[in-house]
Amino acid sequence: MFADILMALQAVATIENFLIMAIGIWAGVVIGAIPGMTGTMAVTLALPFTFYMDFVPGLLLLVALYKGSTYGGSVSAILIRTPGTASAACTALDGYPLARQGKAGKALNMALYSSCIGDFISNLSLIFLAAPLAMLALKVGPPEYAMLMIFALMTVSGVSGNSLLLGVVSACLGLLLATVGQDMYGSFRFAITDDMQAGLSVAPVLIGLFALPELLKLIVFRIAPKNDAMKLGDDKVSAAEFRASLKSIIRGSGIGVVMGAIPGIGPSAAAFFSYGEAERTSKDPSRFGKGELEGIAASESANNGCCGSTMVPLLALGVPGDVITGVMLGAFMIQGLTPGPMLFQNNIHEVYMLFIGMLVSSVLLFFAGKLTMRGFNRISKIPATLLTPAVLTLCIFGIYAISSNPFDVVILLVLGVVGFAMFLLEIPTAPFLIAFILGPMIEENMRRSLAISRGELGIFFSSPICWIFTVLIVFVAVTTIRREVQKTRARKAAIS
């Protein structure tokens, strides 16, 4: 085995491979940073190129693009509150306030460090824990899935709001919006126009909710948000700050690894989940949403923590768990290879090459991030009166470009107004968004479970994984409500 690894190392350590990965990562970062251009898009566009490449460099290009774009999404999330990818929405919650305080560089650095660490841990898990993770992924059937998602939604509903009640209201609205379109059995809900039959896509909802209210604030209040001047030394993450966030980074990576390995969950849910956990266990949760570095660390380590482990189902079972690995399966098939356990027997050389390449790409991500940061960082110095209209134009064109559907632009604008109204009413938008993303997963798996059990609710408590989540759900519900009661008491005491 050691000789195998050495041979693979030799084969993979060519200038050509490094160049391909470096270009892939860097292109991924830029694409991820542009709102409306997603990692899926980048990987799809790159697929035809891999037809003409050797298998390993081709696959490494796809992996590099995916990793780069997952990190890149955080850049625009921090600088202009426009998450380049859905999984970076959570990063905007604390990243944008930091940028406004003149600490954009610090936020970008923290995002990069936690992304790289999450990414590296995820690669290691893929290499050493592929078999147990694949087992776990298969064990998560519809009832387990539903319980896990309910737990994640519960943790997140308390995110970034002063009031638990408003957080829950926000989540309920998100769940409601998620029901638009065709349901899993084929009946239509709220399909007022033809376009609504297909449901609402995530990208316009996301950008509408997060980016557009900023512009509306500018128009309505006629006050340009002032960015504080950059202070000396504020663009670096200090050792103490890093240490304070380390726990969240490690936990975030762990959440990313597990959620990434389970087919269909994806980095957005992982990032929100990790963020919710970081806030819940923090000594001072009130700082979250106002520029807490730990929030960025939690979110970014979790979304990049998915990057390696998302390949577990593809490599260990031969079945991709999401769209990105679906494209990778295409790359495998075109090369005449079938992913799955047999790959480890028949093509172990290529597998090792792939693993080594992935580890190297985590390091490359660090340098690519550092390199792009210098350029992007200047964005925070552009006055908001110029920047915001430019961002709006970018958002509208970006959203139109995704599906060439004018209806998506309508969703974007309507959700922008909704987001602004929510801002006025002090309803947090994050629970809305995550409920919108998780809603279909909860509903579908609940209905699948009930189809299998023929309507018996007992199926939700039928396996050890279900029991664990039942306990966790009860625990989180009790602690959250208790904290809320204590807060109300403290407020009352302060008044009287």
Partner 1 sequence: MKRLLTGIAVVTGLGAGAVHAQDYPSKAITLVAPYGAGGASDLAARALAESAKQYIGEPITVENRTGAGGMVGARSVADAEADGYTVLLARVGMILNPAVNPQTMVKADEYTYLGALESTPMILSVDGESEIESVEQLVEAIKESNGRMTYAASGATSIDGFTTQALLKDAGLDPLTAATLVPYKGGNALATAVMGGHVDFGAWAAGSQMGPIEAGDLKPLAVFAPERMDQLPDVPTMSELGYETAGQITGWSALFGPEDLSEEVVAKWDEVLDKVAEDSTWLDLAEKRGSISTVGTVDVTEYAKSQFELFNGLAKDFGYLPE
User: Which residues contact partner 1 (rule: CB under 8 A)?
Assistant: 40, 43-44, 47-48, 51, 137-142, 181-182, 184-186, 194, 197-199, 201, 263-264, 313, 317-321, 323, 325-330, 333-336, 338-342, 397, 400-401, 403-405, 444, 448, 451-452, 454
CB of 316 closer than 8 Å to CB of 131 = yes
CB of 330 to partner 1, least distance (A): 4
- How deeply is 232 buried, as exposed, middle or buried, from its count of CB atoms within 10 A (0-12, 13-18, 19+)? exposed
CB of 178 to partner 1, least distance (A): 15
- Is the CB of 289 or the CB of 330 nearer to partner 1? 330
For residue 174, CA distances in Å to 15, 71, 167, 306, 431 come to 48, 25, 11, 24, 7
CB of 59 to partner 1, least distance (A): 13
Minimal CA–CA distance to 435: which of 175, 92, 157? 175
- Is the CB of 333 or the CB of 457 nearer to partner 1? 333
CB of 84 to partner 1, least distance (A): 18
The Cα–Cα gap between 306 and 4 comes to 27
- Is the CB of 166 or the CB of 323 nearer to partner 1? 323
The Cα–Cα gap between 354 and 21 comes to 11
The Cα–Cα gap between 359 and 229 comes to 38
- Is the CB of 5 or the CB of 402 nearer to partner 1? 402
Q: Residue 137 corresponds to which tokens in the numbers above?
A: 């992924």
Minimal CA–CA distance to 430: which of 107, 80, 89? 89
- Residue 335: CB partners within 8 Å, gap ≥ 6? 55, 58
CB of 445 to partner 1, least distance (A): 10
- Is the CB of 51 or the CB of 467 nearer to partner 1? 51
- Is the CB of 69 or the CB of 372 nearer to partner 1? 69
- Is the CB of 185 or the CB of 221 nearer to partner 1? 185
- Is the CB of 242 or the CB of 407 nearer to partner 1? 407
The Cα–Cα gap between 139 and 116 comes to 29
Q: Residue 39 corresponds to which tokens in the numbers above?
A: 């990692």
- How deeply is 227 buried, as exposed, middle or buried, from its count of CB atoms within 10 A (0-12, 13-18, 19+)? middle
The Cα–Cα gap between 245 and 261 comes to 24
CB of 423 to partner 1, least distance (A): 30
CB of 17 to partner 1, least distance (A): 23
Minimal CA–CA distance to 305: which of 125, 110, 149? 125
- Is the CB of 110 or the CB of 206 nearer to partner 1? 206
CB of 346 to partner 1, least distance (A): 9
CB of 450 to partner 1, least distance (A): 10
CB of 73 to partner 1, least distance (A): 18
CB of 325 to partner 1, least distance (A): 8
Cα–Cα–Cα angle for 248, 107, 409, rounded to 5 degrees: 100
Determine the residue type at 245: S
- How deeply is 219 buried, as exposed, middle or buried, from its count of CB atoms within 10 A (0-12, 13-18, 19+)? exposed
- Is the CB of 139 or the CB of 378 nearer to partner 1? 139
Scan for tokens 């990057």, then name that residue: 307
For residue 225, CA distances in Å to 99, 215, 232 come to 12, 10, 21
CB of 201 closer than 8 Å to CB of 403 = yes
Scan for tokens 């915001």, then name that residue: 388
The Cα–Cα gap between 71 and 69 comes to 5
- Is the CB of 407 or the CB of 423 nearer to partner 1? 407
Q: What are phi and psi of 181, to 5 degrees?
A: 110, -165
CB of 267 closer than 8 Å to CB of 302 = yes
